Amino acid sequence: MLEPTLLTWILVAFGIVYNLLILGYVQIQILAKPDSQKTKDLLIGKGQDWRDKSHRRFSYGVAWSDFAVWFPLLLAGSIGVLLGKSWGYALWAASGAISVYINFILWFSERAYVYPSCGPLVYYTYYWGFFTYWGLAVVVYSVIRLAG
């Protein structure tokens, strides 16, 4: 049994609040109202518009994949680590790896459009940073905990 530490609780809380609640809200917005200005403001930046149909479809597809794959891994992994189970850390590491993976894709595909509309502080926190930082922290922490 891998007893949760203070760092475990911090990473779980951040993952649930920022990734599940805040990003979940944003992803529900795109699934419910993909062409609303509110959705575009949340995803792309204030006053911005989809670059083309592919951009809109990519964002829509990511929203569905978050609900189908990433959120369940994050939730199940978070429950597992709080229960001190090794499977929880494995699922958590998988969710962290997905977070890092998609955000490296977004770095190259979205940065040129989102960064200028929101600036460095917002970009390296809300739009890109927190997901990447959390994902890296969870992967490293999970590997360390599983390695003993």
In a domain, 40, yes or no: yes
- Say if residues 29 and 38 touch (Cβ distance below 8 Å): yes
In a domain, 67, yes or no: yes
User: Helix/strand/coil (H, E, C) string of 81-122?
Assistant: HHCCCHHHHHHHHHHHHHHHHHHHHHHHHHHHHHHHHHHHHH
Kindly report the backbone phi and psi dihedral angles of residue 52, in degrees, each rounded to the nearest multiple of 5, phi listed first: -165, -175
The pLDDT value given to residue 142 = 97
Return the structure tokens found at 140: 């490293």
In a domain, 78, yes or no: yes
In a domain, 45, yes or no: yes
In a domain, 1, yes or no: no
The pLDDT value given to residue 62 = 93
- When the pLDDT of each residue in the chain is averaged and rounded to a whole number, the result is 91
pLDDT tens profile 70-110: 999 999 999 999 999 999 999 999 999 999 999 999 888 88
> Model-level pTM?
0.89
> CA 93 to CA 98: how far, in whole Å?
9
Q: For residue 3, what is the DSSP state?
A: -
Total number of domains constituting the chain:
1
In a domain, 97, yes or no: yes
Work out the angle at residue 67's Cα, subtended by the Cα atoms of residues 65 and 70, and round it to the nearest 5 degrees. 70
In a domain, 113, yes or no: yes
Q: Does the structure show a pLDDT above 90 at 125?
A: no
For the chain, percent of residues with pLDDT exceeding 70: 100
The pLDDT value given to residue 136 = 97
> CA 106 to CA 130: how far, in whole Å?
13
In a domain, 110, yes or no: yes
The domain of 79 spans 6-147
